[in-house]
Every structure is written in structure tokens, then in C-alpha cells.
Amino acid sequence: MTRAGGWLLAAGALTLPLWLQSPYHVHVAIMAGIFGVLAMSLNLLLGYTGQLSLGHAAFFGIGAYTSALLTLKLDWSFWPALAAAVALAGAAGFFIGRLALKLRGAYFVLVTISFAGVISLVSVNWIELTNGPLGLPGVPAPELGPWSLRTKTAYYYLVLAAVGLSYLVCRRLVRSRVGRALVALRENEPLAESVGVDVTHYLVLATVVSAAMAGLGGSLYAHYTRFVSPEVFLFTYTVTMVIMVVAGGKGTLAGPLVGAVLFTVLPEALRAAASWQWQMLAYGVLLVLLVFFLPRGIVPRLGAARPGHPRSEPGSATPRP
Amino acid sequence: MLAVRDLAVRFGGVTALESVSFEVRPGSITSVIGPNGAGKTTAFNAITGFLRPTGGRVTYDGAALTGLRPSAIARRGIVRTFQKTSVFPALSVQDNVLTGLHLRGTAGFLAVLAGRRRLTAEERALTAEAIAIIDFVGLSHRRREAASALPYGEQRLVELAVALAARPRVLLLDEPGAGMTGSEKTVVSGLIRQVRERGVTVLLVEHDMRMVMGISDTVIVLNGGRVIAEGAPAAIQAHPEVIRAYLGASAGSA
């Protein structure tokens, strides 16, 4: 992304509520932002270390429940609850990372799926704590000093700040020695080991950061919808994140954001345009077309289209058999 | 000094290495030769931690390497290349070498997040070093190209550059000349000599006898999982057991 383009985008994002007509549109923008955080989080693992976490909704859900429970049951205010959500999701990531120490590929996928399954069952069955399938209503809206961030516009800026922070974290990580170690794990693990990259250390690190970021998304979601139920652990959330990352361009910085915006706005636009039978069909057809024509995702394609710019980022990968 | 003592590797009932002992003199180029299945690559894997030996031990300057992870062994200065071409395929040649420079960098997670200014200086220094290494193996014109897009011979040079970036004190090369043309092999032989002149000890597995005899100070012959001969190239070529086991009829032309 060129510098001017980046500033233009930032300016657009900052003034977006002024352009949007209805609160509904701001709502879509907020959801796109929350999913942007989640997609960036998944991309750290999937795009850079090459490991697919198909239980990513677990970290999202842990963040949502932690934040909701702390504010509801212990009367914590939003900000420490948010920090605790990030920390606890990160700790869960550490657990998974250590567990999956020697597991790669399909086995890593299985461990993450199982973890999400277990956590989801806990949320349904530990009724004294989680209120079971009924969920936790009345999660308070965040406050910032004297102001309540109850309005959609205020919440939009909160989410935007989270998106900016997550992007910055990803960018600094990826464009560093740490990021090179993550990519080395994806590209050729034995070779990485042979030149002294402690692969398991970096895999655990990536899992922790990724999980913590998903926890951030979860907390933001909980305090936005003001309601948390076991639905946050639905496999659909994970699948949506995967679609966003893959369609936008895994292993690129901007890809997950592009994917998140596209796949949040698109279903909403389709909802307005067509009856529900056609919505899913159109969604499916678009997905097939994307995979067929842009197998590496949207962002790498844009990067490749610019002359004299063969590779957008150190991490942007060519698909390997 | 790298020392291998009674190294044994068994896969179930199959004995790959029975009891192998040898020492690699510092500053030398030492070659390990032997027929296919003699245990050469197995020995490499056991020395560099990719395989846990069933018995015996490997030491470097007296400290045990056995049981350490490959990355920890690399940290101690023992770095290997692989028999099958092994690069970071999607990365440019420069990023390949920068990744190889991992141990030379210091940037940790928190420092990276904080965006410390000294990291910029470190990155600049690492990049300069990467460029110098790429120059050394003669791939300057390929610096920005993806490693997977390079022809085979050049990919092997990338591999060598990545290994050199890890600043080896002992460099283990697993068939660096395999599949190369005659002129490419000459280039590689020249590079290996230059690496040795920089004070790096080289341990080499190679099938090309001309190359082995041309650059080695010492040749170790493996057969059936044991060392059957060790000595200077000329002595090895004349060694009756070696001729019987390995060189056979081609001994005269080697």
C-alpha cells in the first residue's frame, strides 16, 4: 500500500460516521471492525506461521465471556475487564501453543477444534457461572472518563482504535526478525531450525498474540451487543474469519482487513437486495469465483498489478502444493 | 573440535549406524564418503539434532551436543545444509539470507512491539550483512527474486548462503554438488575453500569423487554403518578395503 493511499484510507475511516446516513450503516462498520481484529488475529497464525486454527472462535468467546462476567458479576469497569479478556485469551493461546508444540498441519487443526468444542461445552453447562444457553444479558456499555460510549458513533471509534492497534502490532511483528522467524516456520521448518530459529518458541508466541487479539475482539463484541451467549463459540465465526483471511490475502497485512470489510458488508448488502434463498447462493457463488480467480487473495493481486512492485510484503506467499 | 564417539542409530531392527567414531580437525575440510545407505546422512542428522541417536555421543569443544534441539546446536555454531534442496521458497533471496541471520539479530518480541529505534539500525546492519553474503556466493543479480524461481544450481547456492548467514564454526554440507553441472561444482568447490579460509571447519558428504579428492584434507569412509577407513585423499584412494567396498572398478579413474 502506498503511503498516500494509506493516509487516504485512514482519513476515510476516521470520518466514516459523517458519511454514513443511518445508525444501521454505522453498525455494519462496527461489525466490520470487530471482524477485522479477528481476521488479523487469525492471519498471524494462518498467514505467517502457516498453521490453521479452526478453533479461533474459542479465543473470541473467552474474551467475550471474561469481559462480560467481570463487568456483570464483579462490577469491574470496562477497561480492566478488556485487559483481563485479552490476558485470559492470551493465556488460553499459550496453553494451546504448548499443547500443539510438536503438532503441525492437520493435527494442529484438530487440537484447536477440540479446544473450541470443550470451551463451548463449558459455557453451556457451567450454568452457575455462565447462565448456560440463556446467556448473559445486560453487559454494560463502556465508559471513557465521564463519557459513555453507548452511542454507535462513539463505539465505532473505540473499535477503530482497536483495529489500528492490532494492525500496528501485526505490522511491527511481521516486519521484524520475529516475523521472519514466523514465516520461516511456514516456509521450511527444518531449515529454520538448522539456522537456529527456535521454532516452537515462535509458534507459541504467535499463538499467544493471535489469541490475545481474538480476545480483544471478543470483549469489544460483548460490550457492543451487550449480550453474550454460547453462540460466540459457533464454528461459523471461525469459518467467517478463515474466509476473510483467505479471500483478502493470507500472509499480507491489509488482506484480513479487506476481507473483513468485504464479507461483513456483502451479506448485509445482499440482505437488502435479495430474498434469503438467493443471499446464500450469491454468497457461495462469489466465494467460488474468488477462490478460482484470486487463489492468493485480493491484496496480493492488487500488489502484483502495480508495475515495478513484484512482491507486496515479505510474507505474501505463493501457494505451495 | 567436533568429536563423534560410538554413534549408533537404529530404526527398529535396521541398524543405520553401528558404532561410528571420528573427529573433525578444526579448520579442515573433512569429507564423509561411502556407498548409498552407508549412513552418511544419518550421521549428519544425528550430529545436528534432527535425529536422536540410539547410542554414543557428539561433542563440540568438549560440550555434549547429543539431546539438544537443532536450533540449540546451531546456536553453538554447528550448522548444516540438506541433501534435498532446502530454501524458503516464497521468500526473496535476500529474505532467505536475512532469515538465516536470525541468530545474529537480537530483536525480541517486546522490543519489536515497542518499535525501539536501535532495531532500525540492527535491521540495516543485518541487511548489509545479507547483501555481503549474497555477493560472496555470486547471486547479487538474483537478490530480489523469489528463491523458488531460481534454477536448481542457484537454489543450492541460496542454501549455502542461508547456512553461512548463521555464522557456522562447523559447516556440514550434505551433497552440495549433487545434480550440479561440472562448472557449477567448480564454483561450489571454490566457495567451500574460501569458507575454510575464513576459519570455518567444513564437514562434507559428497558422491563426486573428483570434488572430494580435490578439496578434502581428510576423508572418512563409511560402509554398513561403520568407519572403514580414514586418512588423506591419496591414502584413501589406495586403501584396499575402500577400493573393495566402494570405489571398486572406478578407483583408477577417480
Question: pLDDT of A292-308, one tens digit each?
Answer: 888 888 888 887 655 44
More confident of the two residues A2 and B173: B173
Q: What is the pLDDT of residue A304?
A: 64
Residues 196 to 215 of A: which have CB under 8 A from any B CB? 196-199, 205
CA distance B39 to B46: 10
pLDDT score of B195 more than 80: yes
When pLDDT is averaged across residues A20-42 and rounded to a whole number, the result is: 92
CA distance A112 to A206: 14
pLDDT score of B42 more than 70: yes
pLDDT score of B80 more than 50: yes
The answer on B154 and B72 residing in a single domain is no
pLDDT band of residue B248 (cuts 50, 70, 90) is low
Q: How far is B138 from chain A (nearest CA, A)?
A: 21
Non-local (6+) Cβ contacts of B232 within 8 A are: B217, B218, B219
Q: How far is A1 from chain B (nearest CA, A)?
A: 19
pLDDT digits (tens, 9 = 90+) for B68-79: 999 999 999 999
Q: What is the pLDDT of residue A137?
A: 86
A144: helix, strand or coil: strand
CA distance A57 to B25: 56
The answer on B254 and B172 residing in a single domain is yes
Q: How far is B155 from chain A (nearest CA, A)?
A: 13
Q: Do B71 and A193 touch (CB under 8 A)?
A: yes
Most A CBs within 10 Å, among B52, B99, B116, B127, to test the A interface: B99
pLDDT score of A193 more than 90: yes
Of the candidates A235, A236, A249, the one whose C-alpha atom is nearest the C-alpha of residue A283 is A236
Strands of B63-64's sheet in order across: B14-24, B2-11, B55-60, B63-64
Contact at 8 Å (CB) between A187 and B91? yes
When pLDDT is averaged across residues B108-133 and rounded to a whole number, the result is: 89
Q: How many structural domains comprise chain B?
A: 2
Most B CBs within 10 Å, among A180, A189, A194, A252, to test the B interface: A194
Compare CB distances from A187 to B88, B109, B165 and report the shortest one's residue: B88
CA distance B177 to B174: 9
CA distance B215 to B201: 13
Compare CB distances from B88 to A191, A199, A310 and report the shortest one's residue: A191
Q: How far is A288 from chain B (nearest CA, A)?
A: 25
The answer on B175 and B72 residing in a single domain is yes
CB pairs under 8 A between A and B: 111
The answer on B122 and B172 residing in a single domain is no
Q: What is the pLDDT of residue B238?
A: 84
How far are the Cα atoms of A132, B17, B53, B84, B163 from residue B79, in angstroms, in the given order?
55, 21, 18, 16, 6
CA distance A288 to A294: 10
pLDDT score of A316 more than 70: no
Helix (H), strand (E) at residue A143: strand A143-144
pLDDT band of residue A2 (cuts 50, 70, 90) is low
Assigned C-alpha cell, B9: 542409530
CA distance B192 to B172: 11
pLDDT band of residue A142 (cuts 50, 70, 90) is confident
Q: What is the pLDDT of residue A313?
A: 45
- Nearest chain B residue to A313, by CA: B91
Q: What is the pLDDT of residue B254?
A: 39
Assigned C-alpha cell, B179: 545434480
When pLDDT is averaged across residues A35-54 and rounded to a whole number, the result is: 93
- Give the CA diameter of chain B: 66
| SS3 track for chain B | CEEEEEEEEEECCEEEEEEEEEEECCCCEEEEECCCCCCHHHHHHHHCCCCCCCEEEEEECCEECCCCCHHHHHHCCEEECCCCCCCCCCCEHHHHHHHHCHHHCCCCHHHHHHCCHHHHHHHHHHHHHHHHHHHHCCCHHHCCCEHHHCCHHHHHHHHHHHHHHCCCCEEEEECCCCCCCHHHHHHHHHHHHHHHHCCCEEEEECCCHHHHHHHCCEEEEEECCEEEEEECHHHHHHCHHHHHHHHHHHHHHC
Q: What is the pLDDT of residue A305?
A: 56
Query: Any chain B CB within 8 A of the CB of A32?
Result: no
Of the candidates B127, B199, B187, B125, the one whose C-alpha atom is nearest the C-alpha of residue B160 is B187
Q: What is the pLDDT of residue B246?
A: 65
In chain B, pLDDT over 70 holds for what percent of residues? 96
Most B CBs within 10 Å, among A86, A174, A177, A311, to test the B interface: A177
The answer on B180 and B117 residing in a single domain is no
Q: What is the pLDDT of residue A124?
A: 85
pLDDT digits (tens, 9 = 90+) for A197-233: 999 899 999 999 999 999 999 999 999 998 988 888 8
Non-local (6+) Cβ contacts of B194 within 8 A are: B136
Compare CB distances from B82 to A184, A190, A196 and report the shortest one's residue: A190
Assigned C-alpha cell, B7: 554413534
Q: What is the pLDDT of residue A148?
A: 79
The DSSP symbol for A173 reads H
Query: Any chain B CB within 8 A of the CB of A318?
Result: yes
Pairing mode, strands B201-205 and B29-33: parallel
The answer on B197 and B221 residing in a single domain is yes
Q: Do A177 and B102 touch (CB under 8 A)?
A: yes
The last residue of one of the domains, among B165, B190, B218, is B165
The answer on B186 and B146 residing in a single domain is no
The answer on B184 and B222 residing in a single domain is yes
pLDDT score of B247 more than 70: no
pLDDT digits (tens, 9 = 90+) for B86-101: 999 999 999 999 999 9
Per the DSSP assignment, residues forming a β-bridge with B78 are: B170
Most A CBs within 10 Å, among B50, B71, B82, to test the A interface: B71
Cβ contacts of A171 on chain B, cutoff 8 Å? none
Cβ contacts of B97 on chain A, cutoff 8 Å? none
Compare CB distances from B74 to A180, A184, A196 and report the shortest one's residue: A196
Most A CBs within 10 Å, among B68, B81, B91, B142, to test the A interface: B91
pLDDT band of residue A311 (cuts 50, 70, 90) is very low
Q: Over chain A, what is the mean pLDDT?
A: 86
Residues 158 to 187 of A: which have CB under 8 A from any B CB? 169, 172-173, 176-178, 180-181, 183-184, 187
Strands of B170-174's sheet in order across: B78-80, B170-174, B201-205, B29-33, B218-223, B226-231
Query: Any chain B CB within 8 A of the CB of A189?
Result: no
pLDDT score of B253 more than 80: no
Assigned C-alpha cell, A263: 464479507
B→A contacts (Cβ < 8 Å), by residue, are 48, 50, 69-72, 74-75, 79-82, 86-92, 95, 98-100, 102-103, 105-109, 112-113, 115, 119, 122-123, 126, 144, 146, 148, 162-163, 165-166
The answer on B157 and B180 residing in a single domain is no
When pLDDT is averaged across residues A249-253 and rounded to a whole number, the result is: 90
Tell me the CATH class for A23-305: mainly alpha
Non-local (6+) Cβ contacts of B13 within 8 A are: none
Query: Any chain B CB within 8 A of the CB of A308?
Result: no
Cβ contacts of A169 on chain B, cutoff 8 Å? 113
pTM here?
0.88
- φ and ψ at residue A10, rounded to 5 degrees: -60, -45
The answer on B204 and B137 residing in a single domain is no
pLDDT digits (tens, 9 = 90+) for A108-135: 889 999 999 999 998 888 888 888 888 8
Give me the domain span that covers residue B215. 1-77+168-254
The DSSP symbol for A132 reads G
In chain B, pLDDT over 90 holds for what percent of residues? 63
The answer on B254 and B142 residing in a single domain is no
pLDDT score of B81 more than 70: yes
Cβ contacts of A187 on chain B, cutoff 8 Å? 88-91
Contact at 8 Å (CB) between B89 and A320? yes
When pLDDT is averaged across residues B102-113 and rounded to a whole number, the result is: 87
The answer on B225 and B212 residing in a single domain is yes
Q: How far is B71 from chain A (nearest CA, A)?
A: 4
Q: How far is B78 from chain A (nearest CA, A)?
A: 9
Q: What is the pLDDT of residue B252?
A: 44
Q: Do B88 and A205 touch (CB under 8 A)?
A: no
pLDDT band of residue A321 (cuts 50, 70, 90) is very low
Q: Which of A145-159, B15-29, B48-62, B188-202 has the lowest mean pLDDT?
A: A145-159
- Domain positions in chain A are 23-305
CA distance B38 to B42: 9
Query: Any chain B CB within 8 A of the CB of A307?
Result: no
